Chains A and B, each alone.
Chain A
Amino acid sequence: MTRVHGGLYAEDMEQLYHGPVPYVILAAGAVIFVAATAAVGIALSFIGSLGSTSFWNNPWVRGIVGAVLWAVVVGGGGLYLTLVERKFMARVQVRYGPNRWGPYGLLQPIADALKLMRKEDIIPDAADSLVMRLAPIIAFAPSFMLFAAVPWTAEYVASKMDIGVLYIIAVTSLTPIGVLMAGWGPNNKYNLLGAMRFAAQELAYEVPLILAMIGPIAVAQSLNGVAIVEAQSGYWFGVIPRWNIFPQFFGAIIFFVAFMAETGRIPFDIPDAEGEVVHGFSAEYSGMKFVMLLLLEYVHLIAGAALFVVVYMGGYLGPAPLSQFAWFTLKLLFVILVMMLIRAVWFRVRIDQIMDLGWKILLPAALINVGVIGVVLALTV
């Protein structure tokens, strides 16, 4: 047996690359996914049929049920996306990834969560302890709030407010406050450096992000998420779905890059670059507070991907065999996997390069994009 780098044997590598295993896993994953979404969809419609329409339209019921469902998605997603990410990146980089706890490492996130929960919570003497304690909550709450206006299907949306996407942008803009608190509170240089970098990066990409949504809004003539999705129904030439991503390709690219930068992941992870600022604004945090700051990244990931799906990829729309529910989930997972693929193969870029990309390329490009879309739409509609 020839042993190659990283503890893998050449035969194993052969299996990983050319054997039937990847295809079996892929097929099994697809089957499990379709079955699971169908089961959840049926369960939800069954629960829905238990109460009367007026009961489910009661705003308090909508709010509480929606919030709990999204909490499950964000909590479970945050927990298991870490595993998906590690396995997926391992596959891309020809490694195994976690495989000790449970079959295929399926229990790894639970082991991690239990371990982190038992960790000692250290508040340094020099810290501003109240600010430090509140920071994870203040950073997390706005990022969770934005899901109130994200439509999972035409019916499963907690709030059908008129200002939908503007509300999402507005609450997202509160996140830097929580992060700056996490930077200031512990009185640690790495925390503050990381938080300042995060905030500066967030500011640089927020404007292109807002501008990139104007095209789809103009098509729908509404800020409401459901209306934006409905405006994308139908097909061109009977085959190509009328998703905004096709005519407004540049807008979609600007939006994708901008929300990738807002999540602060590789290639835009200069705020928590381990080599220079030791995980940035969460450097001094430990235990559950650290988990909350870490979860923030995954909440941003889910939120950004959901927004991209709603605004550019036709949201819950799709042909009949799959339900609206399944289509949205499928598209969401697709966008998240693309982000993970980019993370697996890319490198970290310097902070001046990040700033240049935001202010000197994306911002002018987004402004010109808005102008062109405006003229074209006014001439054609």
Chain B
Amino acid sequence: MVTYEHYIPVVAFIAVGILIPGGAMIMSWMIRTKNPYPEKLTTYECGEEPIGTAQMQFDVQYYIYALLFVVFDVETVFLYPWAVVFTDIGMIAVVEMVIFIAMLLVALVYAWKKGILEWTSLSWREVQVKMEPEK
């Protein structure tokens, strides 16, 4: 039987999980030194004057990995209830799941063949050539 009983401890864990960092920060706020001046408050960039803002444009590759992740995340979600019930249902459930997994392996192979699992569209050798100074 499902009741709220099991979720009340979670509330306590959330509270303590917020109190630990919060409390530590308040404690350090009470005893720490404070001596800000303009140079100290510039953004750290290895001692140089910071160039532009950090909130800049990133490589699209990150987004593609996130898209792939959403697809496979939703898929794995279906596998959890399956793992709980399949021995009770029998072989038919296993067959269903093998079809499901095969379909997703096809998807993975497709993405792989299309080259979107590569971190960079260049090969490692090409990257090295690019980074060499021009003569």
| Contact (Cβ within 8 A) B17 A218 | no
* Interface check A363, CB cutoff 8 A: yes
What is the predominant secondary structure among interface residues of chain B facing chain A? Answer: helix
Residue of B nearest to A373 (CB): B83
Chain A positions 189 through 218: 1 when the CB is less than 8 Å from some CB of chain B, otherwise 0 = 111100010011001101100110010011
| Contact (Cβ within 8 A) A378 B80 | no
Given A63-B9, A122-B36, A137–B21 Cβ distance below 8 Å?
yes
Which of A125, A137, A381 is within 8 Å of B22, CB to CB? Answer: A137
Which of A189, A204, A359 is within 8 Å of B54, CB to CB? Answer: A189
| Contact (Cβ within 8 A) A122 B45 | no
A1 vs B9: C-alpha distance when bound (angstroms): 61
Given A136-B21, A144-B13, A378–B32 Cβ distance below 8 Å?
no
Chain A residue numbers with a CB within 8 Å of B132 are none
What is the predominant secondary structure among interface residues of chain A facing chain B? Answer: helix
| Interface residue stretch chosen among A81-89, A159-167, A306-314, A321-329 | A159-167
| Contact (Cβ within 8 A) A217 B84 | yes
| Contact (Cβ within 8 A) A187 B55 | yes
Which of B8, B20, B54, B85 is within 8 Å of A140, CB to CB? Answer: B20
| Contact (Cβ within 8 A) B8 A371 | no
* Interface check B60, CB cutoff 8 A: no
* Interface check A148, CB cutoff 8 A: yes
Chain A positions 336 through 359: 1 when the CB is less than 8 Å from some CB of chain B, otherwise 0 = 000000000000000110011001
| Contact (Cβ within 8 A) A148 B117 | no
Which of A125, A218, A289 is within 8 Å of B25, CB to CB? Answer: A289
Given A356-B119, A378-B87, A142–B62 Cβ distance below 8 Å?
no
Distance from B117 Cβ to chain A, minimum over Cβ atoms (Å): 5
* Interface check B73, CB cutoff 8 A: yes
Please list the 7 inter-chain residue pairs (A to B) with the smallest Cβ-Cβ separation, ordered nearest first: A63-B12, A63-B9, A352-B119, A144-B17, A288-B28, A59-B8, A141-B17
Residue positions of A touching B, CB distance < 8 A: 59-60, 62-64, 66-68, 70-71, 74-75, 116-127, 136-137, 140-145, 147-148, 158-162, 166-167, 184, 186-192, 196, 199-200, 203-204, 206-207, 210-211, 214, 217-218, 221-223, 278, 283-284, 287-289, 291-292, 351-352, 355-356, 359-360, 363-364, 367-368, 370-371, 374-375, 377-378, 381
Task: Enumerate 8 A-B pairs (CB-CB under 8 Å) in ascending A order.
Answer: A62-B8, A118-B31, A122-B41, A140-B21, A141-B17, A159-B9, A203-B66, A367-B105
Residue positions of B touching A, CB distance < 8 A: 2, 4-18, 20-22, 24-25, 27-29, 31-36, 38, 40-46, 50, 53-56, 58, 62, 65-66, 68-69, 72-73, 76, 79-80, 83-88, 90-91, 93-94, 97-98, 101, 104-105, 108, 112, 117-120, 124
